[in-house]
Chains A and B, each alone.
Chain A
């Protein structure tokens, strides 16, 4: 039993952090807010060259052959930098989704292209009702020749505007199925949704009789339920890692500020009211670290409690990150409320991720089902 990072994992964390400290300063995050694409393709291909866009893919698919723990490590660092770009959608929703359920041909086509940064992917997991349970899907797929016609309305599709392929769940004659859809093809309409975190991008995705071929089904027709649940768990843990990174940044900034900011003739960190708040922020952030990396390990190792560990992680971190980021503003006082100061970049990122892939209440019900049975 060993609950600490290996030397290679520490090396990975340090190199991602060093890269982002240099390449993704707050000025970069701010610049991307006004960029039509929202991310810097140059930086993207640098990250691809370093092997980070294919971290969890097997080497034969152009990946680094690493696991969920390494993925969480990299994503925590992205959160710490409030990195603006489609990393989680492309690598996790698209890449890991295909890795979990794609055919050999689909993996050959997409994974190396995602890993090299040439192509970007995403997934459209929720609809108007905002229910993360895959069983709630109402989009439809009807047979048409060899393939299907897919129709439906998807909400909050992350980074769809720069995606080359979208994983779209729809209900077909065989039941819930997952389709690969090109967002530029006829019948697809994208409209932008703008949230508080301008480093994230969202679209509404409307599909009207979008024709896809026989080879566009991921997994078996009618068999997408378990695949989508497995993907949702991984995405939830990765989003938690990103929230953890944002929360950590907020804790670090608060502690540094509390050491130097003086009121009543003393650094505010010497007051118990501030010191105790910082200690609580650290405690919940450390607990979040435990929750994220336990769940990441459990998913990778196929541990018995992997599913519930993922839900424990998302429910715990969603709220603790919200508190840490909120408390950071409180510690900073008025300066923390300004647009000029960087704190809000991280706070907004954590807030945007909080409801994604199931909020705390959604995952707590899954935990309750595990310990107390279904209602």
Chain B
């Protein structure tokens, strides 16, 4: 065990920090074009798609280097790049499962944010039970015709392309009849309706597909293998960015402590109240434990091991932590916490929400409710941990036998 960073990693961190000091945008990003420009700048510096193979424009970087870049971006409160799903999920899926033609056609454009991507997985009746999805892709020889509805589609409103899971065979067991397709979102028959969320903003959309067309050359992997491919891509949603996430929490925590110094109760600063101190101490302890966990995960990734179901432990841990953290923030901030406008400057939270707006504490509190639902709810994570790590028996479930319909 040695938790010191190597000299090489420390030097790399310095380099990234120096680059950020030179290049960090001085004014807030307000438009998608400005965000694309920042994205390209990061990409040209070699700080995006770092883990992708060099042959496809990546950097063949080690997980630690990727973690350091993400961590430094968080430390500098840098705006997020765009095309998060393209970089995080679609690109890696094409790298692993795509054809040579698909790699040539799509990867570079994903990396440079020339084409923005979304993930067309969840449906109104297929959320946690994702394999129950019903959107259909009908084989028409050289192409598929797609019909159905998707929902909770992140970045749907700005996406040019979507990674689609569709049912190509309704006669077999539900996990077996699904195929993974790349669908052009800019075609007649694809209608995107942004969903207004409890935060008031619209990161998610509904997508309606009516006789939309997908070329056969845009099928990823073999027919009926979409579920297995989705399992590997869901894995990419977990892990990697953990260190950066904790650095962001830590800077938010710093602002919360500042706020607790200014707000008074019974004639003394809230930060001197023993009950509040206990709660602040508890959350900092939990935050640090999350950081230790992130370092353990990085150790695995650095050794070239895939965290597998261990990723579920990590996701469950940090998403539930985030809820507790934001609940404490609301408690400390009192009525200020719920403000979306008009909070005194010293009590504001300024986080980049990746949709071109500055977030408030209220936004962060509401958004924390999403983490334990998306990418597999906490309940699903506990099932995965129970079954795959602890080896507990599966439930007898009717849907594990028989056809999808």
Contact = CB atoms under 8 A, between A and B. Distances in A.
Interface of A: 1-6, 9, 69, 255, 258-259, 266-267, 269-272, 274-276, 278-280, 282-283, 286-287, 290-291, 293-294, 297-298, 301, 303, 308-309, 311-312, 315-316, 361, 363-368, 370-373, 375
A1 B300 CA distance: 11
A275 B395 CA distance: 10
Interface stretch (B169-177, B181-189, B285-293): B285-293
A354 to B, nearest CB: 15
Which applies to chain A's interface (DSSP): helix, strand, loop or mixed?
helix
B277 A1 contact: no
A57 B386 CA distance: 41
Interface string B290-307: 001101101110110000
Contacts of B339: none
B1 A4 contact: yes
Contacts of B296: 3-4, 290
B391 A367 contact: no
Given A272-B383, A280-B382, A372-B277, A367 B285 contact: yes
Contacts of A311: 285
Interface string B258-302: 001100000000011010011011101110110011011011101
A274 B392 CA distance: 10
B298 A275 contact: no
B33 interface: no
Interface of B: 1-6, 9, 64, 253, 257, 260-261, 271-272, 274, 277-278, 280-282, 284-286, 288-289, 292-293, 295-296, 298-300, 302-303, 313, 316-317, 379, 381-383, 385-387, 389-396
A371 B282 CA distance: 11
Given A3-B296, A279-B390, A294-B292, A371 B395 contact: no
Given A283-B317, A371-B257, A3 B299 contact: yes
B200 to A, nearest CB: 31
A275 B278 contact: no
From A9, A258, A287, name the one whose CB has the most chain B CB atoms within 10 angstroms.
A287
Given A269-B386, A279-B386, A287-B293, A364 B1 contact: no
Contacts of A365: 274, 277-278, 281
Contacts of B389: 279, 282
Contact of A6 (B1, B282, B391, B392): B1
Given A279-B382, A373-B271, 13 more contacts: A1-B295, A3-B299, A4-B1, A290-B295, A290-B296, A293-B1, A301-B2, A308-B288, A312-B285, A312-B288, A364-B278, A367-B282, A371-B257
B299 A4 contact: yes
Given A278-B390, A372-B257, A315 B396 contact: no
Nearest to B394: A270
Nearest to A360: B282
B316 to A, nearest CB: 6
Given A276-B379, A301-B4, A316-B289, A371 B298 contact: no
Contacts of B3: 1-3, 294, 297-298, 301, 303
Contacts of A255: 390-392
Contacts of A373: 271
Nearest to A265: B396
Contact of A1 (B288, B299, B385, B393): B299
Given A255-B391, A270-B396, A2 B299 contact: yes
Contacts of A258: 392
Nearest to B254: A371
A1 B382 CA distance: 29
A372 B271 contact: yes
B70 to A, nearest CB: 15
B392 A315 contact: no
A291 B392 contact: no
Given A278-B392, A287-B289, A312-B288, A368 B6 contact: no
B386 A276 contact: yes
Contacts of B2: 1-2, 297, 301
Given A280-B382, A291-B289, A1 B5 contact: yes
Contact of B395 (A270, A278, A372): A270
B389 to A, nearest CB: 7
Contacts of A4: 1, 296, 299-300, 303
A276 B257 CA distance: 34
Contacts of B64: 1
A266 B260 CA distance: 51
Contacts of A294: 3, 288, 292, 295
Contacts of A290: 289, 292-293, 295-296
A169 B4 CA distance: 35
Contact of B391 (A259, A276, A293): A259
A162 B331 CA distance: 50
- Identify the interface centre among A6, A371, A373: most chain B CB within 10 Å of its CB: A371
B280 A372 contact: yes
4 closest residue pairs by CB, A with B: A364-B281, A275-B386, A269-B392, A290-B292
Contacts of B295: 1, 3, 290, 294
27 contacts: A1-B2, A1-B64, A2-B299, A3-B1, A3-B296, A3-B299, A259-B392, A275-B382, A275-B383, A275-B387, A283-B313, A286-B313, A287-B289, A287-B292, A294-B3, A294-B295, A297-B1, A303-B3, A309-B288, A312-B288, A364-B285, A367-B281, A367-B284, A367-B285, A370-B284, A372-B260, A372-B271
